[in-house]
Structure 1
Amino acid sequence: MSSKTVMKALNILEMFSIHKPCWGLRELANELEMSHTIVHRLLTTFTEKGYLFKNPDTQKYELGIKFLELSNVVEENLKISEIIHPIMKKVALESGESIVLTLLDQDEGVFMKIVESDRQVRFAESIGKRSPLYKGASHKVILANLPEDHQGGIIQQGIDSKAEEIESVSVFLQRLAIIKQQGWAYTSGETIHEVGAISAPLFDYQNQVLGSLSVAGPAYRLEESNIEMTATILMKYCLELSAVLSKVVFPTRRNYLFEKL
């Protein structure tokens, strides 16, 4: 890639700002006085890599989730922390455990924000960590709320990877159906050894699954005796958080939405 091409690519990224966060292809090309073909090629590359997101409703481009993983730029621009943190803090105080926000990106779950508990033994994980949707409560509850035809492809990926979590397709699908019906999922030690998690789904403004919110902590503190009570607390706040998130368009790459187009 030549230095001129790199400069053109950077010029495109620098057009996205708080005052102008969305651009259409032709609008951007005209503003930069660049060839529509070149701009389209660069936009496509950025979108494939997650640096940009093409909003299916407006057909305009926005900064993508990759920037959240790298530097929290998108989080600051959208003021996500100011919206989400107080709610996550309330869940942490009421449950006594750490709270994890996971967003769906492509066919994986990404840990995007963690509010730690005040207890001595706490859940800790790296922001930006990705995991397949068939592994762990925070991801399974997302998978349970995806269209059945899309679930099949993800489950097959797990089978191909010889995932221990999938004994058989029929049994796994039954578990997903139960998770969707009850509104939450519980696992212990699947994503992180000796860490349990109770997770509930989060939905966007079109009532499409966006991610999940999880109560996470040492498995010995999240036992069968208090799972349902914790799930009730979590689901209450998930409704509150989904109401907030319904007013925000997140720049995530949710493949199942594009299959409908």
Structure 2
Amino acid sequence: MDRSEYYNQSIKRAIQIMHLFNSQEKELSLAEISRKMDIHKSIVYRILITLESEGWLVKNPETNKYMLGIKLLLLSSVVLDDLVVRKTALPIMKKLSAETGETVVLTMYSDGGAICIEKIESDNSIKITSQVGKFFPLHAGATGLAVLMGMPDEIRKEILKRKPLEKFTEKTEIDPDKIIKLVEEAKKDDYIISVGSVDPGVVAIGIPINFTQGNIFMGLSITGPEYRFDEKKISFVVDELKKAKKEILLG
């Protein structure tokens, strides 16, 4: 059965507009949205007014541009609360953070990035700021690269070559082929390390957690300031990450 004949064009366009917003384009004007959608301004305007009235979009009075509304957070919290793996991982992550003294982040692939679905903050005085719902790039930093590691080759390549990759620091690699090679090498050891590729002076060590039966790609990572990560600490963290991964997969 061809389900396309049942599509509601206005709803489809509204969803497509919502997908235009990302970490690089947090605000968009009517003209920008009209151009990206290749739809007349009058049609886009009616959709924007509807989305704004329902709280899905808000208009910045200073820039006269639209951005995603707070109501999305309410829906995301409902989804996150219902994730079984998040509930399973939480006590394991607390233990991991206590043993390593660092921040532990659980991420899952979503819409071209790695979204944080759970985080345990370090008790140390210097903390790495992240939050549940935050998006991490897949190509930069072990937090995102760990998610990338668990993907089939064809999906990984398609994502990395979809559009130009953003450079966050001088250490950020943006060549898709080099990133693919880096990930392939890291898969042999089942973990990956990054230093300052997203935030200067920050070390991240990530490990993929795969649920291939549901095509769910996740990553577990530990992050902290570079000065706390000597060779001995890195070896210890990698061992603890691998133990935590086994516990999470066993449920």
TM-score range normalised by the length of the shorter chain: 0.5 to 0.7
- Conservation of the 8 A alpha-carbon contact between 2:138 and 2:145: yes
How far off its partner does 1:229 sit? 2.0
Query: After superposition, where does 1:8-27 map in structure 2 within 5 Å?
Result: none
Query: After superposition, where does 1:114-153 map in structure 2 within 5 Å?
Result: 114-153=119-158
* Matching residue within 105, 111, 117 for 1:106: 111
* Matching residue within 81, 85, 90 for 2:90: 85
Identity %: 25
- Going from structure 1 to structure 2, the CA distance change for 1:78 and 1:103 (only over 3 Å counts) comes to closer
Higher relative contact order (CA 8 A, sep 6+): 1
How far off its partner does 1:225 sit? 3.4
Aligned partner of 1:239 in structure 2 is: 246
* Matching residue within 59, 69, 73 for 1:70: 73
User: TM-score by structure 1 length?
Assistant: 0.62
AA of the residue aligned to 1:203: N
- Going from structure 1 to structure 2, the CA distance change for 1:115 and 1:196 (only over 3 Å counts) comes to same
Deviations 1:189-244 (A, max 9, x none): 22222221111111226274521111111111123332122111111101211233
- Conservation of the 8 A alpha-carbon contact between 1:68 and 1:74: no
User: TM-score by structure 2 length?
Assistant: 0.65
* Matching residue within 214, 218, 243 for 2:221: 214
- Going from structure 1 to structure 2, the CA distance change for 1:140 and 1:225 (only over 3 Å counts) comes to same
Aligned partner of 2:59 in structure 1 is: none
- Going from structure 1 to structure 2, the CA distance change for 1:177 and 1:82 (only over 3 Å counts) comes to closer
How far off its partner does 1:113 sit? 1.6
Alpha-carbon separation, structure 2, partners of 1:37 and 1:207: 27
* Matching residue within 160, 164, 180 for 1:173: 180
- Conservation of the 8 A alpha-carbon contact between 2:108 and 2:216: no
Q: Secondary structure at the match of 2:107?
A: strand
How far off its partner does 1:155 sit? 2.5
Paired positions, count: 195
Q: Secondary structure at the match of 1:86?
A: helix
Q: Does 1:187 align with 2:194?
A: yes
Aligned partner of 2:209 in structure 1 is: 202
Q: Which shows bigger deviation, 227-236 or 124-133?
A: 124-133
- Going from structure 1 to structure 2, the CA distance change for 1:147 and 1:162 (only over 3 Å counts) comes to same
Give the RMSD, CA atoms, in angstroms: 3.3
How far off its partner does 1:83 sit? 2.9
- Going from structure 1 to structure 2, the CA distance change for 1:160 and 1:236 (only over 3 Å counts) comes to closer
- Going from structure 1 to structure 2, the CA distance change for 1:73 and 1:182 (only over 3 Å counts) comes to same
Q: Secondary structure at the match of 2:124?
A: coil
Structure 2 residues not aligned, in runs of 5+ = 20-68
AA of the residue aligned to 1:150: I
Query: After superposition, where does 1:246-261 map in structure 2 within 5 Å?
Result: none
How far off its partner does 1:79 sit? 6.3
How far off its partner does 1:41 sit? 7.4
Alpha-carbon separation, structure 2, partners of 1:103 and 1:44: 26
Aligned partner of 1:14 in structure 2 is: none
Aligned partner of 2:6 in structure 1 is: 37
